[in-house]
Amino acid sequence: MILPAVVNVADFDPERCLEKGQVLDIPDPHHVVRGSIEWLSSQGLLKKIDGCLRASEKGKTLFGLASAIRDYTSQYESILAALEVLLGWRDGPVPALPKIFENGSRFAIDALIPPAVTFLHECPSRENPKVSAGALLLAGKTRLREILPEALGSREIRIFLSALRKRDLLQFRDHDRLGLTDKGKKVMVLGGFAGLITSYYTAYPHLTEMAKGQLSYGLKGDVFRHAELNARASNGIIEIKVAPKIIELFREDATLSQTLAECGGIALDFGAGGGEMVQKFLKCENITKAYGMDINPATVKEARRLAARNGIPEERAEFLEGSIVDRDFLRTFKSGLGPGVKPVCTINFILHDVGPKLARRFLKNYREVLGDAPLVITESFRVPLKTMEDHPDQQASLFKFMHDLSGQHLYYKQEFEDILGSEGFETKSQVSHSSMHWAREDKRFKTIVTYVVQARADTQKGAYGDASLCA
């Protein structure tokens, strides 16, 4: 995703200093531009010297090609439009991709890889529509006829598959078979990450307008990430690592298992996205009813659709629209449960989305309305810029770029724990799902962590009276 960042920085370099090897000063850059600069720095294309920017040799070449690169990035929304139809999310003929995407250039391939991986990751297979084409490929199936839907002959699908082949992710075995390479398998396992990257294809062409304040980013703004993809975007990591671990905690962590067993067996997931966590709740024998809530109506609709597709009745899993900072939502939810019923709540990958101010407001409301109801929080953390620069191939820097451009606030781990502590929460336990090793300093940063927290007794408003008496 370096292309949109190159265009974004080039737009603030009218004299083309960077391609000439001269220094460039962008005073007080907007967070979108700062995100682009840090992302390109982590990729070794830019360096900050005395507060000014200078391009590396490789960077100079790319900045010299900025106007050609713009031809590709300005078309990202048409790639997304084709993907939506290919996945059956929108009716009608597949919108034709511009011809430049057939030329096999490096820029065309860079632009096509995330949507192409997303296509395989999300596309229902012809053999079994409940299983995606990507999952069948991962399981070692190779017959095109079994894997791909009928639109097999579509020019756009061929363009996607060809980009994957050129990037050595896919092999064509013969005219009727294809298979993932070892590299392709690694990418497909975390196909949700490609979905996350693709969900911002709505925004990448508009970084400069966003940075200049001509377009606003947000759910109610001019530009927002693609709702269905966003609903599924963290599914890779949620499904593979986080949700199974949380279910394990529900069974084994004393605070959680006791609350579920004695206080009604209710679980609520805040910012539920596509409802992956909510569906997993129902695998836990202690849970009688699962709830999910999300601010985005399109996402709530998608979560309901996915649950229905898996045969889950509404009496078992309900998806509600609401905001995590809406105190009335919490009050209504609590009173709807009946006296003394105490939920166990989860909130995964949301508190960075809303930023520290709203995260604090959520925690305060939670403790004041739900008292000592246990809360399970999963967050992704950022690592220092120098660590990202030393490890350009790791996801951390691209992850941060996407959060910078959308104005989200990835926390440092300590910063987040300070917020929990100062808002009156005590950490009962924590588990780490992934970490990043910084070879130069031989340090390890935890990048995804799940916490089990509870409001400290001295900070609650006695929402449930005696904590040990639930019903």
Ligand X SMILES: C[S@@+](CC[C@H](N)C(=O)[O-])C[C@H]1O[C@@H](n2cnc3c(N)ncnc32)[C@H](O)[C@@H]1O
Return residues touching ligand X (CB under 6 A): 230-231, 233-235, 238, 271-273, 276, 294-296, 299, 323-325, 348-350, 353-354
Of the two residues 162 and 235, which places its CB atom closer to ligand X in the complex?
235
Smallest gap from residue 2 Cβ to ligand X (A):
23
Smallest gap from residue 232 Cβ to ligand X (A):
8
Q: How far apart are CA 454 and CA 439, in angstroms?
A: 36
Yes or no: say if 38 and 385 are a contact pair by the CB < 8 Å rule.
yes
Smallest gap from residue 361 Cβ to ligand X (A):
10
Nearest residue to ligand X by CB is: 273
H helices of 293-394, where? 297-309, 327-337, 351-370, 385-390
Smallest gap from residue 23 Cβ to ligand X (A):
37
Q: How far apart are CA 252 and CA 233, in angstroms?
A: 28
Residue 353 token pair: 């989305």
Smallest gap from residue 142 Cβ to ligand X (A):
30
Of the two residues 63 and 399, which places its CB atom closer to ligand X in the complex?
399
Q: What's CA 232's distance to the chain center, in Å?
A: 8
Of the two residues 299 and 387, which places its CB atom closer to ligand X in the complex?
299
Of the two residues 303 and 383, which places its CB atom closer to ligand X in the complex?
303
Of the two residues 96 and 219, which places its CB atom closer to ligand X in the complex?
219
Q: What's CA 61's distance to the chain center, in Å?
A: 31
Of the two residues 236 and 265, which places its CB atom closer to ligand X in the complex?
236
Of the two residues 76 and 193, which places its CB atom closer to ligand X in the complex?
193
Of the two residues 60 and 331, which places its CB atom closer to ligand X in the complex?
331
Smallest gap from residue 409 Cβ to ligand X (A):
12
Strands (E) located in 223-350? 266-270, 289-294, 317-321, 344-348
Q: What's CA 244's distance to the chain center, in Å?
A: 18
Q: Could you give the C-alpha distances from 20 to 17, 57, 67, in angstroms and in order?
A: 5, 10, 15
Q: How far apart are CA 268 and CA 375, in angstroms?
A: 10
- The 8-class DSSP code of residue 411 comes to B
- The 8-class DSSP code of residue 313 comes to -
Of the two residues 56 and 323, which places its CB atom closer to ligand X in the complex?
323
Smallest gap from residue 192 Cβ to ligand X (A):
8
Smallest gap from residue 190 Cβ to ligand X (A):
13
- The 8-class DSSP code of residue 141 comes to -
Smallest gap from residue 39 Cβ to ligand X (A):
19
Of the two residues 323 and 395, which places its CB atom closer to ligand X in the complex?
323
Show Cβ contacts of residue 14 under 8 Å, excluding neighbours closer than 6 positions: none
Q: What 3-state DSSP class applies to 180?
A: strand
Smallest gap from residue 294 Cβ to ligand X (A):
5
Q: What's CA 293's distance to the chain center, in Å?
A: 17
Q: C-alpha dihedral over 330, 333, 338, 339, to 10 degrees?
A: 0
Yes or no: say if 321 and 293 are a contact pair by the CB < 8 Å rule.
yes
Q: Which of 42, 56, 50 is nearest to 5 (CA)?
A: 42
Let me know the angle formed at the C-alpha of 433 by 428 and 438, rounded to the nearest 5 degrees.
115
Q: What 3-state DSSP class applies to 51?
A: coil
